[in-house]
Structure formats: C-alpha cells, structure tokens
Amino acid sequence: MPDEQLTSLSRHKIAILIDGDNAQASLLSQMLVEAGRYGLVTLRRIYGDWTTNSMNSWKDILNFHAVQPIQQFRYTIGKNATDSAMIIDAMDILHSGVVEGFCLVSSDSDYTRLATRIRESGVFVMGIGEKKTPKPFVNACDVFVYTENLVAEEKILKTQSKKSQEKVKGDQEPIPLLRKAFEMSVQEDGWSLLAVMGNALYQLDPGFDPRTYGHKQLSRLIGSYKEIFEQRAVETNGSTLFYVKIKE
C-alpha cells in the first residue's frame, strides 16, 4: 500500500449485525459505508432462516461483501426468529472484546435493550433502520441512520456516476468506489484526508489498486477525474497531507 494511503489514526473495529427479516438487501453496500464512517467493519454477520424464499435476495450480495449468514430456524410462523440469535451473538462478541463498536441493522424494537446494554458497557453502538423504527430503539443508540436517507443518497450517487462514466467504458470504472470511499471518510468541512479515504477503499474492496486503472498512486488516479474531485496539499510539521473534495 502506498505511504500516502497509510494513516496513524486509530480506527475502531466495528461489528455489523443485520436482522435479515428487517433489512433491505439492496442497501447492504450503503450500510457498510455508514458503519465504515465510524471504524473498520471487521465482523459482518446477518441472521435469518435461509431455508425460506424471503432470504433469496441476500444470497449473491452477501458473498460479494463477505458477510457471514447465520442460520436461525423459524420455530413459530409469523414470528421473527432472528432476535434471540442476534442478541446472544452480540453479547458474546461484546464480552470477547474483539470490537470497539456495534452497528445493529433492524427496525425492530426488540433490540432496544441490547443497544442500551452495549452502550452501558462504554461501547459505541449505532443503528440502521426505517423511519418507522420505535423511538426507544433509536434513542438507545449513539447514532441512528434511517434507510430512507440511504435510498435517496443511493439514487443521487447512481445519477452522478452515470454522468461521469460517459468518458470511460467497461467494468473497470472506479468512480462509484471512489465516491463511496469519500462518503465514508469525509469530514464536517467537506474534505477527506487522502490517507483515510485510501483505507476506506480497502474496506470496500481489498483488491483495490490504482495500477488497475493505469496510475501508480491514488492521488494521481483521483487527479485524473478533475471534473469530479478537487485536491489540495497542506504542509504540517514538515510533512505534506493531501485532501480530497467532491466538486459541487
């Protein structure tokens, strides 16, 4: 990995646990981006009864994002069977100390006590769910993201990416990946440190390499899209830090 993509910033390890009965498969990529804003998503699990047709929409995308499916049989018709399995797993993970944060994906109020318990332990917990999610669960989290906002954001990104892809043909177009990495690492001032953005790229795609797109460095790859990205260099204590921003 090039030096410019390394960062000395400590990144918390995040576990993302998804209630497959109460989440949308089409938003998995965006969910990982949201969780990735707060740390490295090192543990990825989704819970559901994989013998049912209702879980078919998840199967292809899980392999792509390396999310581990956990089988939980539905013992009672009409009852969400994933609650107990996900809660037990979460507590085991909490006590193991292998992560410093959790992302719980569900709109189910049954996870309110779990979120509260995790936060009481001094561990960061975020939630992702629909706007219908009961307020007690929302308020039990340090951060809660509504999927309706992710849907709207995904539509904007797809529209922007379609326009920017007109000059590049084929499957090797890096712009969607670069945009997602930027969204994971952007700061309040609208700029992203290039090193942090580089780490986000490897979270999204461990096989990412600027050389795939004909550039030796990430900065040069981004610089080839001047109509989309703006870069600046800042001298700090004898070293140079590079920043990236998406143009309006």
pTM: 0.72
For the chain, domains (ranges, CATH) are: 13-150 (3.40.50.1010), 168-246 (3.30.420.610)
Token pair of 106, please? 């569900």
pLDDT value of position 32: 92
pLDDT value at position 162?
Answer: 55
Produce one character per residue of 157-188: b if its CB has 16 or more CB atoms within 10 Å, e if not.
beeebeebeeeeeeeeebbbebbbbbbbbbee
For 103-138, letters b (16+ CB in 10 Å) and e give bbbbbbebbbebbbbbeeeebbbbbbbeeebeeebb
**3-class SS of residue 166:** helix
Tens of pLDDT along the chain (248 residues) come to: 333 333 333 468 999 999 998 899 999 999 998 898 888 899 999 998 888 887 888 988 898 888 999 988 766 554 556 688 899 999 999 999 999 999 999 999 999 999 999 999 999 999 999 999 999 999 999 999 999 888 876 665 555 555 545 444 444 578 999 999 999 999 989 999 999 999 889 888 877 888 888 888 999 999 999 999 999 988 888 788 899 999 87
Residue 87 Rama label (left phi>0; alpha psi -120 to 50; beta): alpha
Integer CA distances (angstroms), 148 to 41, 129, 154, in order: 22, 8, 10
Q: Give CA separation, 56 vs 38, 122, 157, in Å.
A: 29, 36, 26
Q: What is the sign, positive or negative, of the torsion defined by CA atoms of 78, 145, 55, 72?
A: negative
Amino acid 232 reads: R
Record the tokens describing residue 87, joined without a space: 């809660």
- Distance between CA 168 and CA 121 in Å, rounded? 49
The whole-number pLDDT of residue 158 equals 57
101 neighbors 13 (Cβ within 8 angstroms): yes
